[in-house]
């Protein structure tokens, strides 16, 4: 059987891969084929907490985050489908020593047109019901943002890309590459070879191994992150914004049905490298290793920084992930899970609110291609 041909092959069907596919199709880049070894958004994208923040102390990062946020404003025009953004607001709370730098960041964000304001500890107690302000010096409050539905966004990108002629092959494993004269000339897959001179690596935590196959060493580490979904008592379910607690290195996000999703943040430069194909999906009894402790978040029947009045400790459960071409699953209280994310060029000095770079949509990659 003759090999298929493509002008561009994209490896990875997460939010980046599907966005790149759509942007290439819009630019009439020729025949585009996207290869995904499971299904669209089955990797870290489908397990993302999807916080839509623009609070970065480095202006370049803040500009990229603001540009990405604008894409969500125009999402339905771009894809023909809604983005399903929950605009509950987002609060970034910091220690007293960090308040002067926070004010500089707020001023920079306001120059970029971001709707953000400073909150004092007294303001925080009003904006975030049930919040303990001990150890907090203030916060930046982004009033018009919140969180998104990453699986739904990826499916929308993929659906529109298909409409514009992109071929998306799911359950299709990349086995290797064909190299001719020092350049890629094809991709070997579980569904047969694809001849191409251009490959886009959008494989996330698997991206480093993919690039090593052609002699390119990328500074990408797969890092294990941990989440837990909690059910507050009925008298502790007041509407809340997303809270990012930079002191205790944890974040709290509202969830469907009055639940609260709690995640932890690693210190800059501190992570737990794992094999993205073989890592424990159970939450550790005690994290250690420089991260916030989920048991500390749950102890005393509360929710850590937030007083949630939990009635019982959550129990471990099986993995919870987005399914292909399905509506967003209703989360279950008590579900604890771990996920992996790719940390590329991770900073060790902590600049940019933990050294994590904001995602940039496929538009910029498409232009480069």
As to burial, measured by CB atoms within 10 angstroms (0-12 exposed, 13-18 middle, 19+ buried), residue 212 is: exposed
Q: Are residues 277 and 324 in the same domain?
A: yes
pLDDT at 277: 87
Q: Are residues 230 and 288 in the same domain?
A: yes
CATH code, domain carrying 17: 3.50.50.60
Tell me, what's the pLDDT at 362?
66
Residue (of 304, 328, 327, 300) closest to 228 by Cα position: 304
Count of beta carbons in the 10 Å neighbourhood of residue 345:
10
User: Exposed, middle or buried: residue 347 (CB in 10 Å: 0-12, 13-18, 19+)?
Assistant: middle
Same domain, 300 and 202: no
* Predicted local distance difference test score (pLDDT) of residue 62: 95
Do 231 and 305 lie in a common domain? yes
Give the per-residue pLDDT at 360: 54
- Give the list of residues 6+ apart from residue 200 with CB closer than 8 angstroms, or none: 8, 9, 10, 11, 17, 20, 365, 369
In a domain, 336, yes or no: yes
The CATH number given to whatever domain includes residue 307 is 3.30.9
Q: pLDDT truncated to tens, each residue of the chain (369 aa)?
A: 456 999 999 999 999 999 999 999 999 999 999 999 999 999 999 989 999 999 999 999 999 999 999 988 899 999 999 998 999 999 999 999 999 999 999 999 999 999 999 999 999 989 998 888 999 999 999 999 999 999 999 999 999 999 999 999 999 999 999 999 999 999 999 999 999 999 999 999 999 999 999 999 988 888 888 888 888 877 677 789 999 999 988 899 998 888 889 888 766 555 667 888 888 877 776 544 334 455 455 443 455 677 766 543 443 322 223 233 333 444 444 444 555 555 444 333 333 333 334 345 566 666 666
d(CA 90, CA 92) in angstroms, rounded, equals 7
Q: What is the b/e burial string over 164-202, where b = at least 16 CB atoms within 10 angstroms of the residue's CB?
A: eebbbbbebebeebeeeeeebebbebeeebbebebbbbb
Per-residue pLDDT, 164: 98
Look at residue 323 in the predicted model and tell me its pLDDT: 30
Do residues 169 and 33 touch, judged by C-beta distance below 8 A?
A: yes
Residues 226 and 187 placed together within one structural domain of the fold: no
Q: How far is the C-alpha of 195 from the C-alpha of 252, rounded, in Å? A: 46
The answer to whether 178 touches 193, Cβ cutoff 8 Å, is yes
Q: Does residue 241 share a domain with residue 206? A: no
Say whether both 338 and 269 belong to one domain: yes
104: left (phi over 0), alpha (psi -120 to 50) or beta: alpha
Q: Distance between CA 170 and CA 166 in Å, rounded?
A: 13
Angle at 240 between CA 325 and CA 96, to 5 degrees: 120
Alpha-carbon distance 230 to 259, whole Å? 6
Sheet containing 174-180: give its strands across.
4-5, 192-195, 183-189, 174-180
156 and 39 in a single domain? The answer is yes
Examine the domain organization and report whether 267 and 330 are in the same domain. yes
Do 276 and 300 sit in the same domain of this protein? yes
Which residues constitute the domain of residue 269?
Answer: 220-344
Domains in the chain: how many in total?
2
> Does residue 83 lie in a domain region?
no
* Domain membership flag for residue 92: no
Can you say whether the dihedral through the CA atoms of 79, 81, 84, 89 is positive or negative?
A: positive
């Amino acid at each position: 059987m003759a090999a298929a041909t493509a002008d561009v092959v994209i490896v990875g069907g997460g939010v980046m891969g599907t966005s790149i596919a759509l942007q290439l199709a819009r630019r009439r880049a020729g025949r585009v084929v996207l290869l995904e070894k499971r299904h669209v958004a089955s990797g870290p994208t489908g397990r993302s907490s999807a916080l839509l923040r623009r609070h970065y102390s480095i202006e370049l990062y803040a500009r990229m985050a603001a540009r990405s946020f604008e894409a969500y404003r125009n999402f339905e025009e771009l894809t023909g489908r809604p983005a399903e953004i929950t605009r509950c607001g987002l609060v970034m709370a910091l220690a007293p020593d960090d308040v002067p730098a926070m004010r500089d960041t707020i001023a920079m964000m306001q120059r970029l047109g971001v709707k953000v304001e400073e909150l004092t500890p007294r303001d925080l107690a009003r904006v975030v019901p049930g919040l303990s302000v001990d150890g907090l010096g203030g916060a930046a409050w982004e009033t018009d943002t919140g969180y998104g539905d990453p699986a739904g966004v990826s499916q929308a990108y993929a659906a529109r890309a298909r409409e514009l002629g992109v071929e998306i092959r799911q359950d299709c494993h990349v086995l290797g590459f064909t190299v001719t004269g020092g350049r890629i000339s094809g991709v070997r897959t579980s569904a047969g070879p694809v001849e191409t001179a251009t490959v886009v690596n959008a494989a996330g935590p698997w991206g480093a191994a993919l690039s090593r196959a052609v002699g390119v060493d990328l500074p990408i580490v797969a890092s294990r992150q941990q989440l837990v979904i909690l059910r507050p008592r009925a008298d502790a379910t007041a509407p809340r914004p997303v809270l990012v607690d930079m002191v205790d290195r944890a974040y709290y996000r509202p969830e469907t049905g009055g639940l609260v999703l709690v995640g932890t943040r690693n210190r800059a430069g501190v992570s737990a490298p794992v094999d993205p194909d073989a890592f424990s999906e159970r939450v550790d009894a005690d994290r250690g290793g420089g991260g916030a402790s989920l048991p500390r978040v749950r102890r005393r029947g509360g929710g850590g920084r937030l007083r949630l009045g939990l009635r019982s400790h959550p129990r471990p459960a099986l993995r919870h992930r987005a399914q292909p071409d399905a509506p967003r699953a209703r989360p279950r209280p008590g579900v604890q899970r771990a996920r992996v994310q790719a940390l590329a060029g991770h900073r060790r000095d902590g600049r940019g609110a933990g050294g994590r770079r904001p995602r940039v949509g496929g538009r910029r990659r498409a232009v480069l291609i």
